[in-house]
Each structure stands twice: as C-alpha cells, then as structure tokens.
Structure 1
C-alpha cells in the first residue's frame, strides 16, 4: 500500500508482550520517556502521544535517512531484533507495508533502501567486544557512520557514542563531520584520531573527553549493509530490514567491502519504538514465529573475520592478566564494576570498570 490504512487504528501494546509459544519472551520495560526532558529525547519520542486526529509530526529535516535529533545529541528508544530467512522476509515486509509507509527519504528518490556504512572503534584488547559477551546491563560503543542513498551524494559522517541499558538505547553524544573534513583529517594524521576529533567538538562530548583520552580506542571494524526502512508518522515506530551485511577489519571508513565478506545469509528485522508496539505488529511476530535475538553486527563481524582466517593476524586478542591490565574507564555515564578472573599464577581477581559494547 502507498498510504496508511485509514480503516485501521493501531493500538499500543501494554509494556509486557506475550509472543507465540515458539518464540522467545519479549520483555519491555515501561516507557523510558517518563520523567525525562523532551530536550533529551528523539523527536519521535515527543510525538508518541499525538492524537490520530492531529496532523502527523514533521519528519526529520536533515534530508537523510534514519535522521535523529543531533542537538544536544540525545535520543532514547527501545530496539528489538529478529532474524528472518531470505525466503520469509518478503512476506513479512508485505505485512508491515500494509500499516506503515516507506521512509520518505528513500521513496522520494524512487528507491526502497539505502546503504549504511559504519566504522566501529575498540581497544587493542577488544574490550568492547568481550564486554558484550559478558552480558553487561549497561554498555556503550563509539562508531562513525554515514548513509548512502541511491542516486544522491552520501550524507555527512556522524561520530556517535551510544549507550544501551537492556533494550533501551540512548545516544549520549553525536557530531556531524562533513566528508571534506574527515578526508582532511585522514590526510593529516593518516588514521582517525578520536581524541583530536572530540577536542574539536568539546560541547558535545565534554562529559566523555577525559575517559576517551585515557581509553586507547582505535578504528577496528567496518560494517556495511543495506537497510530497507518503514515508518509510521503517527507513532514513534520504525521497522527496518537489514541485509547483505558484510565486514572488513580496517581503519579506513572509505574502504570497499567485497560481497564475499558477507557474514549473514539472513535478514535482520529491527523494531524501534518508544513505548510499545501496536497489536498488528505483535500479530506479525506471532504469524511468522519470529524469535528475538541479541545480535550485534560488530561482534558477529569480529568473530567472522577471525573464524575465516582473514583480516586480523594471529589469535583474537584476550584481556591481559590483572597484574598488567590497565583500568580502562567506561565511555559513558555509568561506571560498572566487574570481577576479573586471572589465569593460574597471576594476581588475585580485581574489580574495575571497563568499556562495553552496544548492539549495532
């Protein structure tokens, strides 16, 4: 359909959802918007209670897909991920399209998808990767991202710090980097310097600058994929289908990524919202018995590259023994303690903060 079904009035589920018996439980907390200033929330969050009789909220005006409020650089939402086979994916998409519109930024140029190019940062010991595997409740990740629309110049680059608490995601800092500025930076320093970039934008990253100076973050993995987005302008709901996900270990955000570096043969279905999902979308989950997954494109790419024996040389880095370990501060607003287990013969385990990973 090319327009929202006028005879359907989507209703919002209660915070706790009961999926089909064959699916994993989908647990949703109460609205993360409660008690927060609108200045700290995504524009979608502010309009989540808009009455259907009012004009739909204006779409982001940046002229780019997946646009978010970049000043002051905070957006809060809940994200759920599911896996669908290439065979079932078209049927899921058709059901979603009955209730949602294609993202106007994509349909305006006669396309149905765009390319997302993301360079992830980590420490030399892959603290971000390892911390996600440890199951930390609060995690953060630094990434450099841009969007490439068919037939149009690519968007600016966006350097982001994202935090995640269970299913809730919060962007705690974001700066826009024009392509010319980034290329000049690479020519001058030969590689991305996180500290120099942040020093040039202290107002956005002032709360994180000391920690980032102490953390040896470096460009680690480039992830490229195609995203097919659907939106409902009457609700804070966005459903995307990510496919052809491929990765390469590099510090160059412009490096071409061959199709042979694809890490998944399936489609990742992401549902992004503020308070809850409508009943019709819950029915889609039940109809196709979609199983929720805690997939991280970054972590999957790290494992695929070492498992395939390409890219990085030698074994995957492991954390150093506590006697030699640095106390890497967390890049984010919450400091977590963790019990480290030392190898035989090393010092006793110790508690210390660490940086952690956020689902891509």
Structure 2
C-alpha cells in the first residue's frame, strides 16, 4: 500500500520548557494524536545516503530541493516498518511511503533491495532505481520521543521531538537501544508544524510566542554532524 502526503513544513529548535508553555494552547485547539499515549511515543529512523553523501550536502549547502530515503518504526513495536522517500522544496514537502515486512527491512539494511522490484507500488521501483544508481547505504539511526497534536479536518499536524539521540551501527536498527549519542542538549527539542493549504490564524498566534526562527533544523543532519 502506498501512502502519500503533500504539506508545508516548518521546523524550530526550541527549549523544552518553551514547548511546555505553549502545550496547553495547542491542546485547546488541536487533538492529541491517538497513535501515542498522553506522553507521546518513540520514533526510530534509519537514514540512507548515496556514495557522495549528496542528501546531507544539499542541506548544508542550503539547496532548496532536498531528498531523504529512510526506514522508520515505532518501538517497542518492530513489526511495522515504513520505507519513506521525502522530497522537500523550500517549505513544500512530498512524502511517499510503503510498509515493509521485517525481513524486507533487514534485507535493505544489508544492501539487498531487489525485493522492491516485486512490489506492486510504482514508488517501490522508483526508490529502487534511486538507491541503485546512487549506491545508497544506511548511514545513521535517529531516535526520539514525539508528542503530536493534529487537526484532521484541516490536515494540520504539530509535533515536538525531544530526547533525540543518534546511533552509527545500522544493523542495530531493531535492537532495544541502538542510539545513545545525544543530538541536542537534553533541554532542547524540535518543533515541527505541518499543514496543507494554509496555517490558521490561531496557530500563527501560538507560534508567535516561540522566540526562534523557522529553518532547516534536520534531526538527520544534526546526527550526521556528530561524526
């Protein structure tokens, strides 16, 4: 099954304390994401890059067009894994995703992605070509705790990620704790705001209380810079 989303995306690196100041305001106008409990859920992502580390370099060079290839799961459940291809132009984001079995994900981590040719989704063959032509390899694991608020009718999603850590052994992706290098100091996190058509005025007012500037605050890039 192919999952596809197209949204605007803004990111802010802010103090954890500052997020918890605006959390009651978010809770008053958005719904807590039901996929996690009241205190959120864990996200673990394994990022891939080509032989020349083009995807990292495009971000560091400030390129408007950027891509990411990644595997994602939600511990402690390691049975549902998504292969995602994320394309970003300025603040416009298009994300394609398919669900993989654990054996498929393990094969991809060890360098065998031929199974993608047997998938029915056209996207699977597109990402296969990208991986093969670019000689993509798994690079870094990023893990964090996420709290999410949503407004399905307006396709709005606001997330706050904290306890962000990195691990540099891709084959440890399914281990209990594969990422133990802090990416940010414990008192900081990443706030992401995603919306389709426009950002409502009430949300703009809430974000005005954040003493920061939206920018290319990629957890992946921050993790890679630890190397």
Same fold flag (TM > 0.5): yes
Superposition RMSD on alpha carbons, in Å? Answer: 2.1
The residue number in structure 2 matching 1:84 is: 14
The residue number in structure 2 matching 1:287 is: 209
Alignment partner of 1:144 is 2:71: yes
The residue number in structure 2 matching 1:128 is: 55
The answer for unaligned runs of 5 or more in structure 1 is 1-69, 307-360
| Structure with max Cα Rg | 1
The residue number in structure 2 matching 1:169 is: 93
Report the structure, 1 or 2, having the larger strand content.
Answer: 2
Partners of 1:163 and 1:170 within 8 A in 2: yes
The SS at the match of 2:56 is helix
Partners of 2:59 and 2:216 within 8 A in 1: no
How many Å separate the matches in 1 of 2:30 and 2:211? 20
Residue-by-residue CA offset, 1:87-143 (whole Å, 9 max, x unaligned):
222111111111111112224xxx421111100001233222112212222221110
The SS at the match of 1:87 is helix
Alignment partner of 1:198 is 2:198: no
Q: Report matched runs for 1:265-284 at 5 Å.
A: 265=185, 266-284=188-206
Alignment partner of 1:257 is 2:178: yes
How many Å separate the matches in 1 of 2:70 and 2:20? 30
CA distance change for structure 1 residues 274 and 82 in 2, over 3 Å: closer, same or farther? same
TM-score under structure 2 length normalisation = 0.88
The SS at the match of 2:126 is coil
Residue-by-residue CA offset, 1:148-196 (whole Å, 9 max, x unaligned):
36xxx3451111111111111112x42211235545x37xxxx432532
How many Å separate the matches in 1 of 2:79 and 2:203? 31
The SS at the match of 1:128 is helix
TM-score under structure 1 length normalisation = 0.57
Alignment partner of 1:179 is 2:102: yes
How many Å separate the matches in 1 of 2:199 and 2:131? 36
CA distance change for structure 1 residues 159 and 137 in 2, over 3 Å: closer, same or farther? same
Partners of 2:51 and 2:134 within 8 A in 1: no
Higher alpha-carbon deviation: 293-302 or 217-226: 293-302
The answer for unaligned runs of 5 or more in structure 2 is none
Report the structure, 1 or 2, having the larger helix content.
Answer: 2
